[in-house]
Structure 1
């Protein structure tokens, strides 16, 4: 079990307005024991409920309010965090209200944080491969109701392009939606039982954003190097461990 008593965060490296605040947790700095060690924030992964509550409480000094936790279902629904209760079924949230914390939890899926250049709206997106394929990022950008050229994006820690192994059926679903997605897959093995590919979630997210006019993209695969699968010391990974914890990517507007 990790013994660090203070949460360890990653602060996104992006040119967001000064009133836009964002934090990415790691697995370090909580009280959960293996295999959830130690800062597990997921209440749905069979970890001890009191440990999860303690871990979430440890975020409080760094946040203006309790995050609006959602029940992620690998879909494309986007909720207004300012008018929603916790645990609604959704895979993205946005807000224009100060001190409302949008959050997404991941352990290989791609967390996406968004804001506008004026610091008027923020959003957090859970982009697992299904949601990414079906357009959850595009749905979140639409809800922000600002020109795509005004949107800034940070891609958080996810399973990297040298670790995300998928079958040919997954690749085909992405290419059916956007032929450019073929560039994001590298053939790993071809056999009578089917093809195996390595997929680049970061590149697919960039392609989807570029297609709708968003070009200001930072973070994983751009100017920062993250891989949840290979960096076991910092990150939870469902693909690697199966039974594991969840990290949180959080964003909010600071009040003036």
Structure 2
């Protein structure tokens, strides 16, 4: 995924909570990584819903990178192999759902972004308690399934998976500010710019320029969640000026960085219909 931050700790996936062996449909918990944390690729026998507060979570599933910021969660179906990263100090929440007790409407085959409403977060926090009676737990679990909804925004960046252009994708993941043109990339790889253009379209559904723009916005979500200001983020991502970055963010996300994060910091502008331009998974 992105270049690994200095001080990142790589961990194996933790075992499911002890309560998960009990006959509960949902088991929830909370962790606060004190340093940037990366989890090696793994899978769970239960569906998993993860979300963060005060940071971001990035997960890679085969040829897709999912970036989840505050207000959203990521539903990971049981058995799907994934790796992940959480920024330092983020509150990392997870909830595990027993497949045989999860309604068919949530039998997703692919990861899905979930809207984390205050009600949903409160219910899952309630279910993290170990002193709930069976009836109270059953009532809360039924309401969770009533309010849990996929988000209109699906934060998936599709990686090409094409050996002709994979080097471009990996280099930009490592350094999103790399501003080499399509023609420069084609020359360095010894192929035609038409081949690069066609390969990106076929593999991702986006042009090279569009794909790089979406990638930069994914990275921006992490940087902005970490508290960096728009000017610093725009410089970090290689934009000549903040207005260019804000315009690019609006094209991808349908709104500005300030409006998306609710900061009212002078970059908000008008909030448009929240239909993501990010490529759906």
The structure whose RCO (Cα within 8 Å, separation 6+) is larger is 1
Identify whether the pair has TM-score above 0.5, normalized to the shorter chain: no
Q: Of the two, which has the highest radius of gyration? A: 2
Structure with bigger strand share is 1
Q: TM-score range by the shorter chain?
A: under 0.3
Structure with bigger helix share is 2
